[in-house]
Structure 1
Amino acid sequence: MKTITSSSGSKLRLLLCVAGLWLLVPPQARADDDKDPPARVGRISIVEGSVSLQPGGQGDWGTAARNRPVTIGDKLWVDKDSRAELQAGEATFHVGSMTALSFLNLDEAMTQVRIPEGAVNFRVRELRQGDVYEVDTPNAVFNVKEAGAFRIDVNEAGDSSRITVIRGAGEINTDGTTYEVRAGEQAEFNGAENPTYSIVHWPGPDGLDKWAEERDLKEDRSASGQYVSREMPGYDDLDDNGTWRDEPEYGHVWFPSDTPSSWAPYSNGYWNWVAPWGWTWIDYSPWGFAPYHYGRWAFIGGAWGWCPGPYFGAPVYGPAFVGFLGVGWGFGFGFGVGWFPL
């Protein structure tokens, strides 16, 4: 890893950054620059057991890694005796075993997922005017109407959907008919065409619901929510892995704990090509999402600290904030290429 720290190298650093980044962008990606990538992204925040990811919903499946961004088209499969968690804006999806989930839309105004089979508990912390949170099953479409916690269950055949409103309120559309569901109610739809339906009282939480509630409470109690937008995926993982300090020049700064004196950002992870952004940093640290995709790093008082900066509105995601040095490169960034935090 190559790092430039002297203030006299600022102009050189900028030129190298621009030149290096351009060299690392394939021609096709340069041709697509007129398309703005989504400002909002999802994050795989928990992986327990066997969880697989199919980027873009095409090609080979691979192991889902914690801190990998997810976006439109990505498909997730959670195997037997496994579970996963996904964060996306004001929503958090807790995915149970033997469950398939894919993102149909994911941007600042709309989060739309499809669940063809399995069980998902999800929470929408805040529902702003114009926001859409929609879950599609094979025989029903559920839209959140009041923020709260919800549960979706779909059988393996895909012809039976059970939609529960734990807190909040929602609206279900199936076969041209709309049903309202309030807190404490559970709606079940059976049949692929002209499904029959019933609405009953929710019988109470199971293991997935209890785990989801624990995770939601942890996020709600996060002290880091005082310093950054709560729409920023991964902010709650900063609490247990570092400390916040006020620095005159930078404002609120977060310093990771349990790092050696020689540690520097972008040194404990790997680069992965994630469309539509391109090369994206995936960090191994449990806290390694928010500090690498939002804000900037600064070397302060002999240590690296993360500076989120002031925030107004929803945070805007970036694949990484680094400059590249060197012109020779290959798969996974070959010999002759280094990078430094910006």
Structure 2
Amino acid sequence: MRSPGTRAAILALPLAMLLPAPLPAQPMQPPIAGVDATAAEPMDPPGRVGRIARLTGQVSYRLPGEEQWRPAARNLPITEGNAIYAAPGGRALLEVGQSRIALEGGSDLQMAALDDTALAATLARGAAYVTLSGLAPGEAAQIVTPQAGVTMPVQGRYLFEVPENGPSRVAVLEGEALLATSGGEMRLTSGQAAILAEGAPPRIEHAGPGSPLVAWADGVLPQPRYAVPAAAAGMTGIGELAAYGTWAPSPEYGQVWYPNVGATWAPYRDGYWEWVEPWGWTWIDAQPWGYAPSHYGRWVQVGPRWAWAPVVVVAVGASMPRPVWAPANVRFFGGGYRSPGYAPVAWVPLAPREAYYPWYRASPRYVERMNGRYVPDVRQVTNAWMQDRDGRRGETIDQFRNRRYATLVPAEAMQRSRPVRQEMARVRQEDWRRIGALQEGAPRPGPGTPGMTPTAAERLGIAPDALRRGPVRQGPPAEPHAALRERLPEGMRGRPEPRPSADRRPDAPPAGRPAGRADVPAPPRDATPPRAGAAPAPGGPRPPMDEAQRQAVEQQRRLMEDQQRRAADRPGRVVQEQQRAPAPPPRPSDERQGARPEGADQQRRAAEQQQRQGIEQQRRASEDQQRRAAEQQQRQALEQQRRASEDQQRRAAEQQQRQAVEQQRRASEDQQRRAAEQQQRQAIEQQRRASEDQQRRAAEQQQRQAIEQQRRASEDQQRRAVEQQQRQAIEQQRRAAEQQQRQAAEQQQRRAAEQQQRQADQRRNQRRED
């Protein structure tokens, strides 16, 4: 069983014996019913959490241990046990640190393991495009499909295609992968793909350029204009900040980021609260860039502008702890766990050097990791956490640097996950005036709180039947993933899913342990010592011990065994003392029956009683002396262990920092190379498009010229035809006129001739008559 709790396997029991019981600030989470009390002790929350970076179409998610699907939203945290389903026609992009997982429509993915050092998922159906970047030394990712288990030990790009029917395909676009099938194991290198068919050996082919999912995933997020600062490396969602603001150096806080926001903007106001196990209240920011600044770092005003600092320079020194994910870096005031309805709740964004105290169960080591990058004196914070469960003793809102930008809403608005910006207007003026007097923490969730599961409701004393379900979507069943998880290594199968218990009260303390000490984690039953030479990862096993430490631990173990043996022998000693105790004085009836006088016996019994009392006092004094000596030795051993562990952690952190810088440099070079290749491809594509546009415009120009020439030729032909017709008509008119004139002249000539003939005839006749 993998657990970040193994890092406290050595120190947990001595701490539990020496430290006072802390005061609970949130309802404690009892163990799973039916499981051994030691094994059921909850572990610290993981330090690395993913998010839904982009989604199109219908995308749903399922909570651990549930079978109902709920609508997903951008910036929703994704952790171990969550399942993501992209319905046909939709797509989703998940981010985990610097790595990404893109899902095609019809894909069903479940995160089997997700913490500081493990990333494993099961893909029951669909297509997934995995881009691994920023892997820690020794870290690997795993994807299990119905046909094979795929281990990706190096950074690269991988494509998984698992159709409902037919063979599946695993392609290594860049990097290297190890395939484990029923027929054996094989290695795929860059440019290779394996076709996995039922009942047939894998077939190797060329990987090809990818699919439309690859092009969508590579272009959906803004491209970084320059490398991410080393202080922010490894934070989920950090790559989006460059597109929505600017990075600049600060002499007090190192590299800080200035968002492009308005003058009235303040952190933790544009979004809503949702219940996310195991942290509880978790902030969901509405801005696409709001994930990283909401769950890492601190907010501070530098001049008139807001700045987000991923780390405080003073706290860095020679080592830089790995960033740890937080549900929200705020401090709660007001609300209360039993305040119904309107009771106001306020929160203040934490500034640099202000401690973060979890409102959920956590160990002192976890509190130290959460504040190591932002608070110079982490030991003081840890001591405050152990003495006062939430560090609230004597604290007021006036002590916080960002107190002017506190946000106040009705508790019901937070319980129902309503947008904060809309609910701020509903708060009364007198509540703003008395915000400094609000001393309680975040409100208790209710039946209508989104994200509340029946198991969590039972643990918090809420009847599971009273839960108000939000929108529910249809999706694939959860059964296939249970079989796929069995093919993962035991350390990457994730925590067992919680099951509700009907025979235990929600507020009952863990079995076999006193109430009020539930926050001190006990060592897991399967805890194993770390491997020699292993680097101490935050949240993972502690570094190997030297000879002095081993002797101190062995001495502690012997002392604890002696104490346990003496505690087990006490009932037997009590029985023996009762047997050796003097008999009660005889009754008068006994004396009448002939009992002898007992003056000598009484003296003897009194002497024996005094002797036993003296021996008991000496034994108690000896035990007290031994106990104090053992406690002193334990404290000295713990102090030696702590110092040696701090030195080892510091050296390991320096080594990790150097490795992280080298990885960041290589990643930056890879990003620059890919960006140059992308720009080259874009330039070639632009040239091709420009050439095509030019050819198209030339063809259109030629076509227009041909049409114009045809038009002109047609017009010329029509004009000549009209002119020809006009000339013919004129010629015909002329000929007709000439003919008419000729006919008229001939007519006149005939008439004149006839007239002359008549006149001649008349003259002839007249002559005849004469």
Answer whether TM exceeds 0.5 for this pair.
Answer: yes
Letter in 1 for 2:229: Q
Task: Give the corresponding residue for 1:5.
Answer: none
The alignment covers a number of residue pairs equal to 315
Decide which structure has greater strand share: 1
TM-score, with length taken from structure 1: 0.84
Letter in 2 for 1:63: P
Q: Is residue 80 from structure 1 mapped to residue 88 from structure 2 by the alignment? A: yes
Deviation at 1:287, TM superposition (A): 0.4
Deviation at 1:328, TM superposition (A): 4.0
Distance in 1, Cα, partners of 2:284 & 2:155: 31
1:40 aligned to which of 34, 37, 48? 48
1:172 aligned to which of 176, 179, 182? 179
Q: Which runs of 5+ in 1 are unaligned?
A: 1-20
1:184 aligned to which of 159, 169, 191? 191
Task: Give the corresponding residue for 2:145.
Answer: 137
- The residue matched to 1:56 in structure 2 has which SS? coil
Letter in 2 for 1:285: Q
Task: Give the corresponding residue for 1:14.
Answer: none
CA contact (8 A) 2:167 2:195 kept: yes
Identity %: 35
Distance in 1, Cα, partners of 2:339 & 2:108: 30
TM-score, with length taken from structure 2: 0.39
1:236 aligned to which of 225, 239, 259? 239
Cα separation, partners in 2 of 1:279 and 1:44, compared to 1, 3 Å:
same
2:253 aligned to which of 239, 250, 255? 250
1:71 aligned to which of 79, 103, 112? 79
1:204 aligned to which of 206, 209, 226? 209
Q: How does 1:41-60 map to 2 (within 5 A)?
A: 41-60=49-68
Distance in 1, Cα, partners of 2:272 & 2:43: 26
How large is the RMSD of aligned CA atoms in angstroms? 2.6
Q: How does 1:92-103 map to 2 (within 5 A)?
A: 92-103=100-111
1:339 aligned to which of 342, 347, 355? 347
CA contact (8 A) 1:227 1:252 kept: no
Deviation at 1:33, TM superposition (A): 8.4
1:213 aligned to which of 213, 218, 234? 218
Distance in 2, Cα, partners of 1:149 & 1:264: 38
Cα separation, partners in 2 of 1:314 and 1:197, compared to 1, 3 Å:
same
CA deviations on 1:151-171 (whole Å, 9 max, x unpaired) are: 0000125x7321000011111
Task: Give the corresponding residue for 1:287.
Answer: 289
Distance in 1, Cα, partners of 2:147 & 2:250: 54
- The residue matched to 1:225 in structure 2 has which SS? coil
Letter in 2 for 1:302: P
Letter in 2 for 1:249: E
Distance in 2, Cα, partners of 1:282 & 1:30: 28
- The residue matched to 2:174 in structure 1 has which SS? coil
Deviation at 1:245, TM superposition (A): 2.8
Q: Which runs of 5+ in 2 are unaligned?
A: 1-22, 33-39, 351-770
Decide which structure has greater helix share: 2
Cα separation, partners in 2 of 1:293 and 1:141, compared to 1, 3 Å:
same
- The residue matched to 2:246 in structure 1 has which SS? strand
CA contact (8 A) 1:329 1:337 kept: no
Deviation at 1:300, TM superposition (A): 2.6
CA deviations on 1:277-305 (whole Å, 9 max, x unpaired) are: 11110000010100011111112323322
CA contact (8 A) 2:100 2:132 kept: yes
Further displaced range: 237-246 or 324-333: 324-333
CA deviations on 1:29-75 (whole Å, 9 max, x unpaired) are: 79998521111111111111111011225143211111111111000
Letter in 1 for 2:185: T
Deviation at 1:106, TM superposition (A): 0.8
Letter in 2 for 1:225: V
Q: Is residue 315 from structure 1 mapped to residue 323 from structure 2 by the alignment? A: yes
Distance in 2, Cα, partners of 1:136 & 1:57: 20
Cα separation, partners in 2 of 1:185 and 1:299, compared to 1, 3 Å:
same
Q: Which has the larger radius of gyration?
A: 2
CA contact (8 A) 1:329 1:335 kept: no
- The residue matched to 1:101 in structure 2 has which SS? strand
Deviation at 1:182, TM superposition (A): 1.1
Distance in 1, Cα, partners of 2:339 & 2:274: 10
Deviation at 1:214, TM superposition (A): 3.0
CA contact (8 A) 1:228 1:235 kept: no
Distance in 1, Cα, partners of 2:232 & 2:290: 16
Task: Give the corresponding residue for 1:297.
Answer: 299
